[in-house]
Copies of this chain bind each other. A is one copy, B any other.
Amino acid sequence: MELVTRDPDWQSRVRASFQAQHFMTLLGAELVHLAPGAVDIELNMRAELTQQHGFFHAGATSSIADSAAGYSALSLFEAGVGVLTSEYKVNLLNPAKQSVLLARGRVVKPGRTLTIAKADVYGLDDGEQVHVATGLFTLMSVAGVKD
């Protein structure tokens, strides 16, 4: 499957939209990799992101997975078309207690109306990598929405 971008400014458009997601700023998430149909987001552990056992809250884990999947879709959209998450499903595979989370969003099937993407989240610690979550996402193209 070839993943083709449709907007020469796709990179700056994705970066600008990510910066406009105040929720990513609140979490402390960073966009660390950007390619056609592929976006990686990192998140450093801190107490504010934890659930009751001291792990990353499932909501924090899936928030960066959702943004990574959503921006992997947006990277392929025409200019002037925005992205909304229609639905997603996440399986939490291992306790997310590492010092960094890395979410890798990848387009599985691009489409005019719906784009299907997956995201895998890894916990990183001193060179070790644990697969903490995997998910499937449906992203919707929204014409006439600035993104």
Chain A: residues with CB nearer than 8 A to chain B?
1, 17-18, 20-27, 47-53, 57-60, 62-64, 66-67, 82, 84-95, 108-109, 113-114, 116, 118, 131, 134-136, 138, 140, 145, 147
Report yes or no: A22 in contact with B47, Cβ–Cβ below 8 A.
Answer: yes
Report yes or no: A131 in contact with B114, Cβ–Cβ below 8 A.
Answer: no
Report yes or no: A89 in contact with B136, Cβ–Cβ below 8 A.
Answer: yes
Number of copies: 4
Please name 16 further chain A to chain B contacts, defined as beta carbons within 8 Å, in addition to the given A57-B66, A59-B66, sorted by A numbering. Answer: A22-B47, A26-B48, A26-B49, A52-B82, A52-B147, A59-B67, A62-B63, A84-B92, A89-B90, A91-B108, A91-B109, A108-B134, A109-B131, A113-B113, A116-B134, A135-B136
